[in-house]
Structure 1
Amino acid sequence: MKRFLLSLFAATTSALAAAEPPLAPSRGLPRPTGPRGDAFVLGAVAPPQRSLQRVLPAFQYDAKTAFPDTLEIVYLANARPIHVRVTLKVNGKPLHEVWQAHLRKLFDAFDRDHDGSLNRFEVENIFSPKGLSGLLGGTYYHGAGDDGKSLEDLDRDADGRVSFAEFAAGYTEAAADLVRLRSLALDDSVDQALTKELFQRLDANGDGKLSKAELAGAESILLALDTDENETLSADEVRSVPKVTADFPGMVQPAPTPPKQPERDPNLELYRGPIPGTVVQLMLKKYDANKDFALTRAEIGLEAEAFAKLDANGDGKLSAAELDGWRTTEPDFTAVVDVVQDYAKRFAEMKPRGGKLPAGCELRTGENGRVVLRIGNQLLDISTATPPPGAIALRTTEQLNSAYPTDKQVVTENDINGPQFQFLRVVFDAADLNGDGKLTKKEFRQYLELQEETIALALSASFATRRPSLFQLLDDNGDNQLGVRELRTAWQRLIVLEPTGGDAVTQAALQPSAAVRLGFAAFAGQDYSLPANMFAKPGARKQVAPLWFHKMDRNGDGDVSRAEFLGPREKFDELDTDHDGLISAAEADAQDKKLRAKK
């Protein structure tokens, strides 16, 4: 009898314990992957098994609709407004597919019993929505202040489990940080000082204009400053020569007063979603010359067909209500930009609406992920950046070495006492991927890689406007040197940018242009190419020419001069078919093809 009573007492206690909500075990012990099983009561008859009825339908999630992978660029150029819709790719795949694949990898990592759903205990270890947003911002996740990741927060259909669709939907708001907009205010004071210097040297009569005759003399004037005698002129060579002035005879002119901090240009904006209605007010402020709160076709610069579609009442003016249709219609251009980790595989392309370029626009597509749209005398430059090689693996290794005991391959919580292991102690249970209460170095590396891959996935869209220097406009191939051919062609390249339509080039030709740089957010601070010469022609450096040409072209300006040519004068004259004193890459390639044909 005593044995029977003890058995009955033990069974009753087990039954009461089973009625309580399951509790997580103490830290450092094996972690369960699900609730405890029902207790077995001695002598009790098992109740009939009834299938649970789902109260709500299974939760559905449309990844593409929930996360659009497009950016809207609005550039209010002087000649007309431009709307470009950019579709983003990462390593050749649409951004929303890349995001979904990464969420699936996170889900599978935390689904420790591999049953295709997360239970209450498994949900404890996932990244919270706030934590995931922090990872996309470049901050490691440690689990402090976790909110929004309980079973009740994620279980949309109330079936007691979290499906992948529910898991992905829980990060919808955090996914807004996947593409981070980074507006830059660029200081162009140095460029303007260089422009002033060049204008003064080229403007022989001092009237503030550069005539055709004055630019024709650019070669002789500027190459006189070629101190290193390499037949090209650098910006430093222009600045380094003292200039005699009336106020300071024989002395260098004093440096100008430093300008105030540059401000953000409202004429260039990027949006992750639909273009807001505030753009209409910006357009009126920009283009409404007579301040009548309406825009004529002459003011806004749109082609006749596009203007007529917006002018609903046909009065020849666009009111604010009619102008609002501009932001909701199809964009002027669509672009595809592929942000990749391999420098050689960068890609960007842009196409006009209907396949026809608007009047006054020119589209240049370059190599290595760059497109340039010219709108009048301004440019919109869209390009991509790549992270430094091996940067992602390096971050993981550094974090692993600093957080995990160097002399161990497996640790328990008793092994990680001390402030140097604080991060490891906080993430111990989450990183213990098999839940056995022991954390191997391999498990910790895998957990770090989940964080690193999330950090590395975030993109940045840096954008800014910059007024070019005269030096940059002359530097046609973007090599930061002015070669002889660039100086000889200065007039025909500059006069087309002159907005006055006159017979001379003024500083009005140097209008601010826009640049958008897309890359991985974790390395945006290491990308210094946005402020570089966005005014050079894309792909201008790539020239097809025989090897001897590139070896003789010692200054890299794309031409071989008489001084650089190592052969006899007669051979130089034979190769210089246009007799301009320079052998171009095309001339060298033509001669090489002739020789190969004879063989």
Structure 2
Amino acid sequence: TETRRRQVATWLRPDFDVADALFMLEERYALGSPLRADDFPDRDVQWFAAFDLDMDGVWNLDEFTRWTQSAADLVVELGFAGDEDNAARQVSGRVITAGGEEQHLGADGIVRVAIATVPCEIRAIDAVPIFPATADDFPVWKQWDTDQDGTLSNEEYERIRNVLNLPMSAVDKDSDMRVTVAEFGTAMQRRQRVTRELLTLQVGADRAPFWSLLDQDHDDQLSEREMQQAEQRLREYRGTGQTLARAALPQTLRLEFTRGTANEPTGRLVPPVGIQLSVSDKRVSAPAWFTQLDRNGDGEVSWREFLGPKSQFDKLDQNGDGFLQADECRNQ
């Protein structure tokens, strides 16, 4: 009898492969033998020992079961809604830590928590492409149809093949070597149904710790206030000789959940939901005059942006920090 190894995802813990453990478990226990420390590579011995409760050098079934049911450091619940009719989609969810702390995703699809002592940023992105329902809603078709005959020839289709990543034969249902708007729309809808079921998790360190240090509100832009405070914040991390050591910068672990085709920007016909707050979100409760003066859209009005006299600015600046916030000006 041929035994085939089943493909099981690699466990996220460092230097431990759960696929190997499961495969060895099937083999050994099928033959009436338990798992032993010698069955594991040297780098995994510490993980083995942590669950070898009686320290006899053997994993019995109870010990292995206890390992597979170990408490989670983090529970992430996500909800994606609104894509059935191509409406404005929403990403919602919550994160529960091992200590019972619960936080909900913000309007930007981001929540920040700590796993043990490691700061983590969790992002949820809906990258399922929204496809037009009719040709009238699909203006780029005219650009693709270079001879304007209402269909795409093989040559025309090959130029835009990466939109669907499908061969022409999979789109051209009547096999006439021409792709009509209806055929292309049908293929796009099939693609949308498939990508809706895909959820990708990417885990890695923050690739721009320097930027994250300065961008205190994590809106992917530096406000005037943040630029003014940059020198003070960087002083905390300077090394010998007044230099800034990268190793001294705080490191954040980023977990990014993406529904759809995470690595296929050409298939993304609209911007994904949950990347960053829009400028309008920051101005939603601000008076009209405040919004007009806030030219850079950072949610604050500096003295440089203010058009009135300094005495009026100082009167509005209730906390004396040199910036006007919407809360300070809402009733003015």
Which TM class, normalised by the smaller chain length?
0.5 to 0.7
Displacement after TM superposition at 1:386 (Å): 3.7
Q: Aligned equivalents of 2:249 and 2:262: distance in 1?
A: 37
- Partner amino acid, structure 2, of 1:402: L
SS at match of 1:580: coil
Contact 1:386 1:520 in 2 (8 A): yes
Check 1:319–1:508 CA distance in 2 against 1; reply closer, same or farther (3 A cut): farther
| 4+ residue runs over 6 A deviation | 266-269, 318-321, 395-400, 489-495, 536-541
- The offset of 1:387, in angstroms, is 5.0
Matched position secondary structure for 1:428 = coil
- Whether 2:101 is the aligned partner of 1:367: answer no
How far, CA to CA, are the matches of 2:16 and 2:286 in structure 1?
40
Q: Does 1:549 align with 2:285?
A: no
- Tell me the TM-score normalised to structure 2 length: 0.55
Gaps of 5+ in 1: 1-71, 77-265, 270-274, 296-309, 405-421, 432-440, 498-503
Q: Which moved more, 1:565-574 or 1:456-465?
A: 456-465
Q: Report the residue type matching 1:428 in the other structure.
A: D
AA partner of residue 317 (structure 2): D
Q: Distance in 2 between matches of 1:554 and 1:425?
A: 47
What are the superposed Cα offsets for residues 519-570 of structure 1, whole Å, 9 maximum, x if unpaired? 322983246xx9xxx9x99999635322222221222333211121112222
Matches within 5 A, 1:122-137: none
1:345 is aligned to: 89
In structure 2, the CA distance between the partners of 1:507 and 1:551, relative to structure 1 (3 Å rule), is farther
Is the 1:277–1:324 Cα contact (8 Å) retained in structure 2?
no
Superposition deviation, residue 518 in structure 1: 1.2
| Cα drift, residue 383 of structure 1 | 1.3
Q: Does 1:569 align with 2:306?
A: no
Q: 1:268 to 1:352 in 2, by over 3 A?
A: farther
Name the residue aligned to 2:264.
524
Whether 1:401 and 2:151 are equivalent positions in the alignment is yes
Q: Pick closer, same or farther for the CA change 1:479–1:472 going to 2, 3 Å.
A: same
1:509 positional shift: 3.5
Letter in 2 for 1:349: G
Call closer, same or farther: CA 1:549–1:456 in 2, change over 3 Å.
same
Distance in 2 between the 1:368 and 1:563 partners?
A: 29
Q: Give the number of the structure with larger relative contact order, counting CA–CA contacts within 8 Å between residues 6 or more apart.
A: 1
Matching of residue 465 in structure 1 with residue 204 in structure 2: yes
The answer to whether residue 174 in structure 2 is matched with residue 428 in structure 1 is yes
Question: Aligned-residue CA RMSD in angstroms?
Answer: 5.6
Cα drift, residue 338 of structure 1: 3.5
CA drift of 1:347 comes to: 1.3
Distance 1:547 1:327 in 2: 57
Q: Give the superposition deviation at 1:277.
A: 5.8
2:125–2:257 CA contact under 8 A, matched in 1:
yes
Q: Matched residues in 2 for 1:372 and 1:515: separation?
A: 10
Gaps of 5+ in 2: 1-8, 23-38, 155-167, 238-243
Aligned to 2:325: 584
Q: How many residues are paired up? A: 262
Structure 1: how far apart are the matches of 2:295 and 2:58?
Answer: 59
CA contact (8 A) 1:558 1:584 kept: yes
Match of 2:214, as an amino acid? L
Q: Secondary structure at the match of 1:366?
A: coil
Cα separation, 2, equivalents of 1:577 and 1:540:
24
Per-residue CA deviation, residues 130-176 of structure 1 (Å, 9 max, x unaligned), is xxxxxxxxxxxxxxxxxxxxxxxxxxxxxxxxxxxxxxxxxxxxxxx
Distance 1:522 1:469 in 2: 22
State the alpha-carbon separation in 2 of the partners of residues 320 and 382 from structure 1: 37
SS in 2 for 1:548: helix
